[in-house]
Amino acid sequence: MKFNIQNHITNILPLLGGLVGLLLFASCQEWDVDRAEAALQPLSEDSYTSQLNGDDLVWTWSGNNGTSTQVNVYNNGSFAGSETVTGNSYTFTPAYTNVNYTFVFKQTDGTNYSSGVVKKYLREGATQISGISMSQVDKVGGYDAAVTWNAATDATSIKLIATNGTKTINETLAGTATSYTIKDVTVGDTWNVTLIAVNDKGTSLKAASSLKIGKTAVGFLSIYATPEDLIANGDDDEASAWLWFKSEYPTGKFVSFSSITSQDVVEPYRVLWWIRDLEGVDEKAVFTMPDAVQAATPYIQSWYKDGGSMLLWGHAIPFAASVGRIQLDWISGNDHAIGTGKGGYNGDVWKMAVQLNPGSKFVVDMSSHPIYKGIDCETSGRTKLIAFKGAGWTEDHNCLFFNLPSQLTGLGNQDLACYTTLTETYGIYPLGTWDSQIDWVSQLNVWEARQGNTQYKGTLLCIGNGGCEFSMKNADGTPDKSAYPKNNSCQENVLKLAKNSLEYLKTR
């Protein structure tokens, strides 16, 4: 059997509210090893041997006498996952360098368990490069591709391999390097880059990223005919988002839905952003698209099918159904949370969880996604949190959905297979949840829809968390329409999320 922990599933699950190091390991020993009056006998320590096969760590043993084996895995003293296997082998993948792994093996007949046998493993080598990302850089006469990453912790050199399928670049960089530029890339190429850290103890696992070279224009969708009309008559969140967008993207264009009369209108754009914020209406209005939007939808749908990507913010998320990526009744007819009230004062700081921990069976660390790059993240208990809203006038305009992952996959909300099938088959990635929902895969709060098993080559990013309000109102409830709204103490995180999301979609 193989316990698959990919790059998006990390081994970080603090135990006992902050106890670390030896205390944590002592706790795992107490829970897994020192079991009084065990009904089954464990195998001897000498029964277990391990061998590295590529990046897989393969454990084998003998003499299990017809019982199954429960394997509990710890990463630097923190619980990483559990699996019960039949037979005499277990494969853990990937085995990262410079991580102190602890494996606890117990024999079980399905009801009773033996005491645990503890085996440790450390794979020496340089630590894997983190934070790798790519972006397209405009220049006179063409484009370059920029590759950036976080500073290596222990590398003496870094191997870089870049290829577009016909041309391959091999470079050995200094261990202190954090960037590289691929010169004169061509529209239509997809560049795949791999980084490997090296020191005298060995090489790290690969870190990889890719970038499709193409058009770079970004457009701002609106139901209003002109920016002036939006600012004068539109919602404060929508107006503020436009003002900020125009400030950050001087060449970005305002695209009224009413102006989209053919696919040629949207064809120049790589990314389109629609932020929609409705107030004082019923829930039905959120799922109902205005006439101008409906008229433009076939052209946007064709553009999206060909590879165009969209950022859907707030009440714009049901547009994912309009363009055919999901079925409308999947979200309107299922459990959901839609807020459209006028709001009021709230003194709390609202934080969004960016680490899933379904039933403590496995961990998905979503904080490493590029949309959260450079945003402060705190570890709290069994999850990680990002603050998006401080004290002030709160609208609480959520637009999020429950149970769609289980509905699609037919698997349990706490099963690793549910997450794996949701992402690898359907191309849907949960990226943020309420902190009360970390024990399930089911909440689509902040999420991404890649192509998956569909015909749509583009990517959708959906920001449905009510805490990610673009412009908090003034204390008296009046709107604050400005490029950089001042009322939210966490406003910088909201703006970084918006910028990161647009930049990420430009790489898709």
Going residue by residue through the chain (508 aa), what tens digit of pLDDT does each one get? 444 433 344 333 333 233 333 333 334 444 455 445 567 899 999 999 999 999 999 999 988 778 899 999 998 887 877 889 999 999 998 999 999 999 999 999 989 999 999 999 999 999 999 989 899 888 888 889 999 999 999 999 999 999 999 999 999 999 999 999 999 999 889 999 999 999 999 999 999 999 989 888 999 999 999 999 999 999 999 999 999 999 999 989 999 999 999 999 999 999 999 999 999 999 999 999 999 999 999 999 999 999 999 999 999 999 999 999 999 999 998 899 999 999 999 999 999 999 999 988 888 999 989 999 999 999 988 999 999 999 999 999 999 999 999 999 999 999 989 999 999 999 999 999 999 999 999 999 999 999 999 999 999 999 999 999 999 999 999 999 999 999 999 999 999 999 999 999 998 8
The residues near 87 (Cβ < 8 Å, ≥ 6 apart) are 1
Q: Compute the half-sphere exposure of residue 282: CA atoms within 13 Å on the CB side of its CA.
A: 2
Measured CA to CA, the distance from residue 505 to residue 304 in angstroms comes to 12
pTM of the predicted protein model: 0.75
* Cα 207 versus chain centre, distance: 16
Largest separation between any pair of C-alpha atoms in the chain:
77
On whether the CB atoms of residues 441 and 419 are closer than 8 A, the answer is: yes
For residue 312, what pLDDT is reported? 98
Which pLDDT value is given to residue 281?
96
pLDDT at res. 5: 39
- Helical pair 236-248 and 491-505, crossing angle rounded to 10 deg: 60
* d(C-alpha 197, C-alpha 177), whole Å: 11
Query: Which pLDDT score, from 0 to 100, does residue 361 have?
Result: 84
Q: Which of 192, 78, 132, 94 is nearest to 369 (CA)?
A: 132
Tokens of 238: 């929508």
Q: Residue 449 pairs with which residues in a beta bridge?
A: 428, 460
| Cβ burial, residue 304 (10 Å; 0-12/13-18/19+) | buried
Helix, strand, or coil (residue 475): coil
CB atoms within 10 A of CB 102: 22
Domains along the chain? 2-122 (2.60.40.10), 133-212 (2.60.40.10), 217-505 (3.40.50)
On whether the CB atoms of residues 457 and 307 are closer than 8 A, the answer is yes
Report how far apart, in Å, the C-alpha atoms of 462 and of each of 215, 316, 444, 445 are.
22, 8, 9, 8
Q: Which residues pair with 401 in a beta bridge?
A: 336, 444
